[in-house]
């Protein structure tokens, strides 16, 4: 083996190790961001509940913050969906068109509802 080939092999191995660990790093980062976003959503949900209750107590119309918080939740859900699909891309996972369960790209049938997946 030529020295230059040897160097090539080493750098290929290093490259694949690097990309594997950056995959793990990336998916861990996304998981943290996901649980952050989910925490945000439950905070907003509680805030909405509090507003509804306060308006019930005071007999006044619920104020605009409810609407704003609902929009903020929609935006968070969108972020969450984007992060989930990024994660699926990293982990080679797709979603069942029938029931929405997450399944490995290698399986032919959904293991939740049994639907046939793309051939």
Which residues in this chain contact Zn ion in the complex, by CB under 5 A? 96, 98-99, 101, 110, 112-113, 115
As measured in angstroms, the least distance from the Cβ of 100 to Zn ion is: 7
Give kind and range of the element (H or E) at residue 36.
helix 3-58
Other C-beta atoms closer than 10 Å to the C-beta of 31 total 12
As measured in angstroms, the least distance from the Cβ of 61 to Zn ion is: 43
Q: Of 29 and 116, which CB lies nearer to Zn ion in the complex structure?
A: 116
Q: Of 80 and 103, which CB lies nearer to Zn ion in the complex structure?
A: 103
């Amino acid at each position: 083996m030529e020295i230059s080939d040897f160097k090539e092999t080493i750098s290929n191995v290093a490259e694949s190790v690097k990309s594997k660990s950056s995959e793990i790093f990336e998916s861990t980062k996304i998981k943290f961001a996901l649980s952050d976003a989910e925490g945000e959503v439950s905070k907003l949900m509680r805030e909405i509940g509090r507003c509804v209750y306060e308006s019930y107590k005071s007999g006044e119309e619920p104020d605009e913050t409810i609407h704003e918080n609902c929009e903020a939740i929609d935006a968070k859900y969108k972020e969450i969906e984007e992060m989930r699909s990024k994660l699926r891309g990293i982990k080679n996972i797709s979603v069942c068109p029938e029931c929405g369960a997450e399944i490995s790209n290698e399986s032919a049938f959904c293991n939740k509802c049994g639907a046939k997946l793309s051939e």
